Structure 1
Amino acid sequence: MYALIEEQKLNRIFDEIGSLRQELKADKVKNSKKLSETWLDNQEVMELLKISPRTLQNMRDSKALPFSKVGGKIYYKASDVDNYLKGGYNG
């Protein structure tokens, strides 16, 4: 036979689950900030700057845009992309 849970007890359980979810979210945000920077891959940078793969390669070769290579994949700091854009700003 199944035992019935009182509504108050059930509400307390749901409240605890909600609290735990909030703690997990806060912990996740805290841990993600440890990287201290958003990193973008080639595709994201090409889309942001509206440039071709070859143009991005030229930017790397000329050291106009710093990058990091991990396991054959290239990443760029979002702040470096932002600084590159600001460098060309004529405002």
Structure 2
Amino acid sequence: MAHLLGHRGCMESLRADLRDLQAAIADVCSRVGAVRFPSWKFPDKVSCELDIAVLLQRYRHSDSEPEFSQHAHVVLLELLIDR
């Protein structure tokens, strides 16, 4: 599976999952209020205050930088855990 690390299709699927999950979290938080816990990925921030749209913009696939794509793929997986 290591050959899929940084693969464009895998990353786009993961990004879509993160957007869907964030929408579900926003829906729940709108009904019960924000849950204020430290972020697992960014422990200096509160998880409900992370700007997922900005993070998804920052961590994208790059054809010209395969190492960055691999790093971004790992970060997206970590964001999924963080959510």
- Using structure 1 for the length normalisation, give the TM-score: 0.30
User: Which has the larger strand fraction?
Assistant: 1
User: Which has the larger helix fraction?
Assistant: 2
Q: Which has the higher contact order (CA 8 A, sep 6+)?
A: 2
